[in-house]
Structure 1
Amino acid sequence: VPNLVTDIGNQHPEKRRKVILWEDVLQHVNELPKSLVTHIWRPDSGIDVVHTGTVVYSSCWYLDNLFDIRKWSSYYLCDPVEKLGLSLTKNPRSVLGGEACMWSEYQSDDTIIQKIWPVTSAIAERLWSPHFVNSLERVGPRIEEQRCRMISRGIPQSVLQGPGSCELPGAVSSFFDNVLLSDVSQRRGNVVPDTDHPITFTVTLLLCFTAGVLVGAAAVFCAFRPQVSTQLRNVRVVFSCLPRRSVCIRLLCLSVAVLFLLHLFRTQIWSQVI
């Protein structure tokens, strides 16, 4: 077996192909070249990932084992880095990716597509999302929206959360049950930031900074207008469209900026800022 694996890996080296092996191969060899990729599918494989090289993980994503569609949340919450005993500081790049597997012994052409979707959408988001994005309350509506989107494109889908409907085209499904998913998330002690993507987080920070500048500028113009009129002559050009002596307009700008800041303080973004 070792010679066979090596021979396959050495074929056409100019194409720089990587060979992916099922973890069962490790039962017959003591060590594999780190250039090979191991596909882990056993829940209790016990493989030392750090010394094995890169792996593809699918242990908790066997779709044919999902007999109760309502348990799709367990597929979403499965973190391969955590399952393999790794951490963000302990070689997380050993996990090359994941795979949702469907074995068809108990499926037919009439049922297999519904068995795959939309559960695989949850697995896909788990794989492309940062580790801290794990809120069931927030992913539920997104999965249902994707479900409705795929139905509109003619792709059969399973039902995730009981009776409901899709207002096609482009509407969000009403299947989502806030109480059910909220209860599951609270049992996990799940606390996540109010944003689900670094880009959204950056934009929110920019909005916070802009709001702070607006508050400061409005306060200066309201409280110290006579003293700053000369120094901020260029800045006043921006407000030239407003009546120069209109205190109400300036107070309105200040009020809008303050209300915007108060709205941001109501979100969890500030925990990330701190």
Structure 2
Amino acid sequence: MINATSITDYPRYKHRGFLLDTARHYMPLPIILKHLDAMSYNKFNVFHWHLVDHQAFPFVSRVYPELSEKGAYHPQLKVYKPDDVTRVIEYARLRGIRVIPELDTPGHMESWGRSHPEIITMCYENGEPFGRLGTINPIKNETYTFVRNLFREIVEVFSDDFVHLGADEVTYDCWKSNPEIQAFMNDKSWNEDYSSLEELYQTKLFQIITDLKAKYIIWQDPIDNNVTVNQDTIVQVWKDPSLDPILPPYREGLEKVTKLGLKTILSAPWYLNYISYGPDWKNFYQTEPEDFNGTAEQKKLLIGGEACMWAEYVDGGNVIPRIWPRAAAIGERLWSANDVRDVDMANVRLDQQRCRMVRRGINAEPIAPGYCGRYEYAMNDPWGSDQTNEASVNTPFHIGIIYMMVALVCFSIF
């Protein structure tokens, strides 16, 4: 006989996301699927797929196939074909995870320019073009035709209501050097106000996305540049001195964005690509998202957060253990109530959760000395008699399975 159990559990935030960069290094499809499994084990519900960037354009577009043919690391082996994308979306859906694609503009577009230099601003030096392409060219009508066609495809392929439009780290250098841009600025009497040029592009892009019946998320940079955005824009806060000493504290970013009445997502404290020796997960765990100056109404505009793994120094060989189980601490912070924050208790739960993931084939790294019993990663006997810290110890197989299913739900975090 099994006793009846009543479980009351619900998330603090509705947006519990994870950004994975597949442009700095290509991530093989099996790695992405394994990562989605791990996300589902740890109560993440949004896969923010950073598809393309300066370095590579691995997304195979039906409308503009030349983007990946010339922009990917390899036009056949290092791309995500339509069937791959469909598989990721469906695999995620079956695990309660939304997939939000990011195509970052108007910066981070060098890979686009390999096949379509006509939409990118040519950089000049001493009055002459010197071959480097910068940010998008916002003064050409053909730029917006191209962007509209590509994002129409993105909206159709990805089933989520939202797309991420990027908009971070827009450098003005090429705009400043380009004589056509300069003439346009003079005609507008904008002088050196390049934020107005940025705003021109963003306003047109937002309208394109709205016309496509989609919603959008952007990084905080346009807000920092005093660009006026639509009131339904969701802003992702990523800047903090912990990432670069010249950046403002993320609490100031949250305060500024919410003071404008805009919804926001927090990422700054949870950049998993920054690593240190020892249990850095504790820093992630102890972050209180609403610890910023603002009214109660402002704090209601914080809809959640995202862990981020940028891929300059990870690929399919090391990305999973670099992420897990560190990200699980962020999963708890976004799910559990504010008063669930005892680090010592979380340490026990996280250690147990790490072993569960190992048993399920997720090569999560250890957080402390010890071992996971006979189901240590890559061992052949997952049901050995010396398992530790698991409900299946000394119990019949089917009862152990039931206990573990209950454990996955009733632990406050995982």
Do Structure 1 and Structure 2 share a fold, with TM-score over 0.5? yes
Distance 2:315 2:264 in 1: 30
8 Å contact kept, 2:321–2:365? yes
For the structure 1 residues 30 and 14, does the alpha-carbon distance in structure 2 shift closer, same or farther, using more than 3 Å as the test?
closer
Question: What is the SS of the residue equivalent to 1:20?
Answer: strand
Q: 2:228 aligns with which of 31, 35, 38?
A: 31
User: Which residue number corresponds to residue 306 of structure 2?
Assistant: 99
Distance 1:5 1:30 in 2: 8
User: Which residue number corresponds to residue 218 of structure 2?
Assistant: 21
Question: What is the SS of the residue equivalent to 1:65?
Answer: coil
User: Which residue number corresponds to residue 334 of structure 2?
Assistant: 127
User: Which residue number corresponds to residue 64 of structure 1?
Assistant: 273
Instruction: String of CA shifts for 1:107-142, please: whole Å, max 9, x gaps.
Output: 232211101000111101100111111111222222
TM-score between the two structures when normalised by the length of structure 1:
0.56
Distance 1:90 1:133 in 2: 23
1:49 aligns with 2:266: no
Q: 1:142 aligns with which of 346, 349, 366?
A: 349
Question: What is the SS of the residue equivalent to 1:70?
Answer: coil
> What amino acid does structure 1 have at the position aligned with 2:389?
V
Question: What is the SS of the residue equivalent to 1:39?
Answer: strand
8 Å contact kept, 2:259–2:294? no
Map residues 98-247 of structure 1 onto 2, 5 A cutoff: 98-166=305-373, 168=375, 172=389
For the structure 1 residues 131 and 4, does the alpha-carbon distance in structure 2 shift closer, same or farther, using more than 3 Å as the test?
same
C-alpha displacement of 1:86? 4.0
Give 1 or 2: higher helix fraction: 1
Q: Which moved more, 1:95-104 or 1:116-125?
A: 95-104
C-alpha displacement of 1:166? 3.8
C-alpha displacement of 1:85? 2.8
8 Å contact kept, 2:235–2:257? no
8 Å contact kept, 1:55–1:96? yes
Distance 1:120 1:51 in 2: 29
Instruction: String of CA shifts for 1:7-30, please: whole Å, max 9, x gaps.
Output: 333335477532111112224334
C-alpha displacement of 1:157? 0.7
Distance 1:119 1:66 in 2: 10
Distance 2:329 2:373 in 1: 18
Structure with the greater relative contact order (CA < 8 A, sep ≥ 6): 1 or 2?
Answer: 2
> What amino acid does structure 2 have at the position aligned with 1:81?
E
Bigger radius of gyration: 1
Q: Which moved more, 1:20-29 or 1:143-152?
A: 20-29
For the structure 1 residues 66 and 152, does the alpha-carbon distance in structure 2 shift closer, same or farther, using more than 3 Å as the test?
same
Distance 1:162 1:171 in 2: 14
TM-score between the two structures when normalised by the length of structure 2:
0.38
8 Å contact kept, 1:9–1:17? no
Distance 2:212 2:300 in 1: 23
Distance 1:32 1:19 in 2: 11
For the structure 1 residues 16 and 92, does the alpha-carbon distance in structure 2 shift closer, same or farther, using more than 3 Å as the test?
farther
Question: What is the SS of the residue equivalent to 2:358?
Answer: helix
State the aligned residue count: 174
> What amino acid does structure 1 have at the position aligned with 2:323?
I
C-alpha displacement of 1:40? 0.7
For the structure 1 residues 148 and 196, does the alpha-carbon distance in structure 2 shift closer, same or farther, using more than 3 Å as the test?
closer
Structure 1 residue ranges without an equivalent (≥5): 174-194, 198-274
For the structure 1 residues 68 and 30, does the alpha-carbon distance in structure 2 shift closer, same or farther, using more than 3 Å as the test?
same
For the structure 1 residues 196 and 121, does the alpha-carbon distance in structure 2 shift closer, same or farther, using more than 3 Å as the test?
closer
Instruction: String of CA shifts for 1:224-271, please: whole Å, max 9, x gaps.
Output: xxxxxxxxxxxxxxxxxxxxxxxxxxxxxxxxxxxxxxxxxxxxxxxx
Deviating 4+ runs (over 4 angstroms) = 167-171
User: Which residue number corresponds to residue 293 of structure 2?
Assistant: 85
Give 1 or 2: higher strand fraction: 2
For the structure 1 residues 171 and 90, does the alpha-carbon distance in structure 2 shift closer, same or farther, using more than 3 Å as the test?
farther
8 Å contact kept, 2:324–2:364? yes
